[in-house]
Amino acid sequence: MRRQLLAIVAFLAAMALVPHLVDSEFWRNWVMMALFYALLGQAWNILGGYGGQFSFGHAAFFGTGAYCSAILHVHYGVNPWIALPAAGMAAGLVGAFIGFLSFRYGLRGSYFALVTLAFAEVLRILANTVPITGKGVGLLIPLEPGAANMQFADRTGYFYLILAFVGLALLLTLWLEHSRFGARLVAVRENEDAARALGVDVFRTKLAAITLSGALAGLGGSYYAQLFLYLDPGIAYGPAISVEALLVPIVGGMGTLFGPLLGSFALHGVSELAKLAFGEAPGLDLALYGVLLVLMVMFMPNGLFGMGRTTLARLLGGRRDA
C-alpha cells in the first residue's frame, strides 16, 4: 500500500510538471485527453475489473453527468463547480437505478452487458426528444472564461482539473484494494455463491460498485461538457464513450490500480501513431483500435499491466507454482 501510494504521488507530481515542461500545445492536449480517458476507464474498472460486471453502456453515466451539469448551468444558472457534484450524484443515481434492476433480477454476463447497452440507448433517444437537452441540435454552453465558471482560457486549468480527478480516482481505487468493500467486490467477481456463503451481500456489493463507478464516469461527463462547451445525444450517450471506457482498462489490465492509466496512454499513443501513419483519414485509427483489442485478447488476456507484472515476476523468479 505504501509503495502504491508513493507511485500515485510520484505520477501526479510528474504529470503536474507537464504544463510547465511541455511546450507543445498539441502534446499538452494529448496528455490531457489520455488522462480524461483514464478517468473513464478507472470508473469502468471499478465495476468491470474489480466487480466482474461488464458494462457496455457506461455512456449512460457519462452522458447523464454531462447533461446534468450543462443543463443546470445553461437553464438554471447554476455555477459549474456546484453542478459538478450534482452531476456525479445524478450519474451515480442512474447507476444505482440500472444496478438495482439488473442485479435484483440476477442479470449476469452477456445479459448485464446488453441491458446497460439498452439503457444508454434509451437515454440517447430520450435526449434526442426532450426539449431540455436541446434535442438532436445539441446544447451549447455559453463561453464565459474564468476559473469561477470552470472555463480556463489558457487550458492549464483544464489540465490540473482532470489531473485532480484522476488522482481522486486512483486514491479511490487504492482504498478499494485495501478495504473490506474491495475484498468483497473481488470475491463477488470470482464466485458469487462462495461469497454469499461467507456472509457477503452480493446484491448490495454490486449496487455500491455500480453507483461508485457511475458517479466517477459522471464527473468525467461534467468535465467533458465544460471542456468542449457542447453536447449532443450522440456524443453524450453514443456507443463511442462506452467502448472507450471498457477498452482502456481491458488493454491496460482489468482489476489493477494502474491498468486504466497504462491502457489509456497506450491506446492514445497507438491512435496518435495511427493518425501519423494514415494521416487524418477518418476511421483508420479506430480500426486499429479494434485490431488491437482482438490481438490483446488473443495474446495477453491479462492486459499490459498484468503482462508486465507476470513477466517481471518470472524474471525475478518470484512466481511459485504448486
Partner 1 sequence: MLEVEGVSKNFGGLRAVADVTMRVEEGSITALIGPNGAGKTTLFATISGFLRPDTGRVRFLGRDIAGLSPERICRLGLARTFQIVQPFAGLSVRENIAVGAHLHRPGRTEALAHAELIGRQIGMGRMLDQPAGALTIAGRKRLELARALATDPKLLLLDEVMAGLNPTEIEEIVAVVRRIRLAGVTILLIEHVMQAVVSLAETTWVLSDGVLIARGSPAEIAADPKVVEAYLGRGAAARLAGREGGAAHA
Partner 2 sequence: MVELQILLPAILNGLTTGAVYALIALGLTLIYGVLHIINFAHGSLLMLAMYAVFFLHAGLGIDPYLALPVVVPGFFALGYLLQRGVIARASHGRDENILLVTLGVSIVIENLARYFWRSDTRTIETPYSFETVDLGVAFIAVPKVVAFAGALLVTLALWWVMSRTDLGRAIRALAKERQGARLVGIDVDHIFAMSFGIGTACVAAAACLLLPSFYVSPGVGHTFVLIAFTVVVLGGMGSFAGALIGGLIIGVTESLCGLYLGESLGQIGIFLIFIAILLFRPTGLLGHRA
Binding footprint of partner 2 on the chain (CB under 8 A) = 54, 56, 101-102, 105, 107, 109-111, 113-115, 117-119, 121-122, 125-126, 128-129, 136, 239, 243, 250, 281-287, 289-295, 297-298, 301
In whole angstroms, the minimum distance from the beta carbon of 179 to partner 1 comes to 6
Q: What is the 3-state secondary structure (H, E, C) of the chain?
A: CHHHHHHHHHHHHHHHHHHHHCCCHHHHHHHHHHHHHHHHHHHHHHHHHHCCCCCCCCHHHHHHHHHHHHHHHHHHCCCHHHHHHHHHHHHHHHHHHHHHHHHHCCCCHHHHHHHHHHHHHHHHHHHHHCHHHCHHHCEECCCCCEHHHCECCCCHHHHHHHHHHHHHHHHHHHHHHCCHHHHHHHHHHHCHHHHHHCCCCHHHHHHHHHHHHHHHHHHHHHHHHHHHCEECHHHHHCHHHHHHHHHHHHHHCCCCCCHHHHHHHHHHHHHHHHHHHHCCCCCHHHHHHHHHHHHHHHHCCCHHHHHHHHHHHHHCCCCCCC
In whole angstroms, the minimum distance from the beta carbon of 281 to partner 2 comes to 6
CB of 187 or CB of 235, closer to partner 1: 187
Using CB under 8 A, which of 78, 183, 243, 292 touches partner 1? 183
Q: N- to C-terminal Cα distance for the chain?
A: 27
CB of 108 or CB of 196, closer to partner 1: 196
Q: At 172, which amino acid appears?
A: L
Burial class (CB in 10 A: 0-12, 13-18, 19+), 183: middle
Using CB under 8 A, which of 195, 219, 227, 235 touches partner 1? 195
Using CB under 8 A, which of 193, 279, 283, 317 touches partner 1? 193
In whole angstroms, the minimum distance from the beta carbon of 27 to partner 1 comes to 37
CB of 115 or CB of 169, closer to partner 2: 115
Taking the CB of residue 322, how many other CB atoms lie within 10 A of it?
2
CB of 73 or CB of 184, closer to partner 1: 184
Binding mask 278-307 for partner 1 (x = CB under 8 A): ------------------------------
Cell for 54? Answer: 461488464
Stretch near partner 1 under the rule CB under 8 A, chosen from 73-81, 110-118, 179-187, 283-291: 179-187
CB of 150 or CB of 244, closer to partner 2: 244
Cα angle for residues 67, 70, 71 (degrees, 5° grid)? 80
In whole angstroms, the minimum distance from the beta carbon of 180 to partner 1 comes to 5
In whole angstroms, the minimum distance from the beta carbon of 285 to partner 2 comes to 8
The entry of partner 1, partner 2, none that residue 320 binds, CB within 5 to 8 Å by partner kind: partner 1
The entry of partner 2, partner 1, none that residue 194 binds, CB within 5 to 8 Å by partner kind: partner 1
| 190 makes contact with partner 1 (CB under 8 A) | yes
In whole angstroms, the minimum distance from the beta carbon of 187 to partner 2 comes to 18
Cell for 7? Answer: 507511485
Stretch near partner 1 under the rule CB under 8 A, chosen from 24-32, 53-61, 177-185, 222-230: 177-185
| 178 makes contact with partner 1 (CB under 8 A) | yes
Interacting residues with partner 1 (CB under 8 A)? 178-180, 183-184, 186-187, 189-191, 193-202, 320-322
